[in-house]
C-alpha cells in the first residue's frame, strides 16, 4: 500500500466510526450534557465535521463543504462563517443545538468525501510539502492530513463513549 492509499484509508475512518454510531444516538442524548460537560454528542459530531472541513478547505483551496453544500443554511445555527468549535466558550459550545442527527452524519460523510477527493489530487511527493511553519518541526501536508483524522477520531470516540452511557444520565 502506498502513502496515498494509506491516507485515503485513514481519512475514511471517521465515516466508518460514524456509521456504527448512528444506531446508538437517541434523540434524548443528542443535545444533552451528561455530568454537566459542555460538549454534547451533537457538538462533538458537528465539530468533527467542521474541523475536517476547514482544514481540508485550507489545504485544497476549495470552498468549505459547510458553505458549498449549504450545510450552513441547513443547520440554521448562528455561527461565524469559519467557526468550527475550537476555543469556544462553554456558553458558545452549549449554543450548538441540532435536533436532526441524520444531518450531522450527512455533513460528516460529505466532508470525508471532500477529503477523499482532495487526496486523489495528490502524489506522494506532495505529502512532503511544508504547509505550516508555525511549528517546530514545520508541518508537512501528509502530517496535517494524519492529524486532521486523528483529531476527528478522538472526538468520535468521545461521542461513542457518551452514547454508551446509561440513559438516565441524559435526563
R_g over Cα of the chain: 16
Query: What is the pLDDT tens value at each position of the chain, 171 positions in all?
Result: 799 999 999 999 999 999 999 999 988 899 998 877 788 999 999 999 999 999 999 999 999 999 999 999 999 998 888 877 877 778 888 889 999 999 999 999 999 999 999 999 999 999 999 999 999 999 999 999 999 999 999 999 999 999 888 777 776
User: Omega before 53 cis (within 30°)?
Assistant: no
C-alpha–C-alpha distance, residues 40 and 88, integer Å = 13
Amino acid at each position: 500500500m502506498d502513502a496515498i492509499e494509506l491516507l485515503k484509508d485513514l481519512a475514511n475512518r471517521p465515516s466508518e466510526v460514524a456509521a456504527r454510531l448512528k444506531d446508538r444516538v437517541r434523540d434524548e442524548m443528542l443535545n444533552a450534557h451528561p455530568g454537566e460537560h459542555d460538549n454534547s454528542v451533537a457538538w462533538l459530531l458537528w465539530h468533527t465535521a467542521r474541523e475536517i472541513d476547514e482544514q481540508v478547505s485550507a489545504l485544497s483551496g476549495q470552498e468549505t463543504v459547510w458553505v458549498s453544500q449549504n450545510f450552513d443554511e441547513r443547520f440554521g445555527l448562528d455561527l461565524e462563517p469559519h467557526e468550527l468549535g475550537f476555543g469556544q466558550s462553554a456558553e458558545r459550545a452549549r449554543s450548538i443545538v441540532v435536533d436532526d442527527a441524520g444531518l450531522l452524519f450527512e455533513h460528516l460523510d460529505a466532508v470525508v468525501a471532500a477529503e477523499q477527493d482532495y487526496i486523489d489530487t495528490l502524489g506522494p511527493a506532495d505529502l512532503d510539502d511544508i504547509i505550516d511553519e508555525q511549528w517546530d518541526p514545520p508541518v508537512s501536508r501528509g502530517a496535517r492530513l494524519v492529524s486532521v483524522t486523528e483529531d476527528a477520531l478522538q472526538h468520535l470516540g468521545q461521542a461513542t463513549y457518551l452514547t454508551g452511557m446509561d440513559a438516565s444520565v441524559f435526563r
